[in-house]
Amino acid sequence: MGYGLARAALDAGHEVVLVSGPVAIEPPAEARTINVVSATEMLQAVRAELPSCDTLIMVAAVSDWRPRRASAEKLKKSEMSDRLELERTPDILSEVSDLKGDRLFVGFAAETEDLLVEAERKLRDKNLDYIVANDVSHPEWGMESEFNKVVLIGADGTRESMPVLPKPEVARLLIERIGAYRAACVSGS
């Protein structure tokens, strides 16, 4: 969805900075792409780029946890503990909320249960203008599919449920809705 949204935003005439972790697909050539491999690197890139942007769309969260210690070399079984120690990674949207100002912030809630409840909680907790709720447990749409079914929820209480559509069409509709909201904010209507 992230690369689809970047493509749709470019097609709509927007400049796009794409901050991306490792993936197996090519980013749109017209986007300025910043490749990262960790949550910390992604946070740094978002913080560095945000001042020159009017809209932030955070599509996929990095892992919530990482190993407490990393090793550059293979660890021998005999040297390893039977416990894996983890630590939280930064919550990027929460970490950059101090930079929001009059920027439009859009997040995604990829959930497997209590979809709308969790999405609305994240919308409030992260001070978002919109959140895109999608059930990633459904076999016909979501993570491992070319299709998606989402609900766009606005901070003003609006909700738009979209039918199952190909991901590029979902991306196009989301960029259209976000662009219309942004234009209304700028014009003051």
Per-residue pLDDT band for 148 (boundaries 50, 70, 90) equals very high
Considering the entire predicted model, what is its pTM?
0.90
- Tokens 């993570």, located at residue: 143
Q: What is the pLDDT of residues 62-116, one digit of tens each?
A: 788 888 888 888 888 888 888 888 999 889 999 999 899 999 999 999 888 999 9
User: What pLDDT is stored for residue 186 in this prediction?
Assistant: 61
φ, ψ for residue 98, nearest 5 deg: -70, -15
**Cβ contact 162:149 at 8 Å:** yes
Would you say how long the chain is, in residues? 189
Domain ranges for the chain: 2-58+92-187
Q: For the segment 118-146, what is each residue's pLDDT rounded down to a tens digit?
A: 999 999 999 999 999 998 888 888 777 89
Model confidence at 187, pLDDT cuts 50, 70, 90, reads low
Closest CA to 154 of 186, 119, 189, 188: 119
Question: What tokens were used for 60?
Answer: 């996929």
Q: Which residue has the higher pLDDT, 186 or 26?
A: 26
Q: What is the pLDDT of residue 64?
A: 83
71-98 core/surface letters (b: 16 or more CB in 10 A; e: else) = eeeeeeeeeeeeeeeeeebbbbbeebee
- Asked whether 16 and 31 are in contact (CB, 8 A), the reply is yes
Query: Can you give the pLDDT at residue 183?
Result: 78
Please tell me the CATH code under which domain 2-58+92-187 is placed.
3.40.50.10300
Question: pLDDT grade, residue 188 (50/70/90)?
Answer: low
Which pLDDT belongs to residue 68?
A: 87
Cβ burial of 110 (10 Å; 0-12, 13-18, 19+) is buried
What confidence tens digit (pLDDT) does each residue in 28-55 have?
Answer: 999 999 999 999 999 999 999 999 999 9
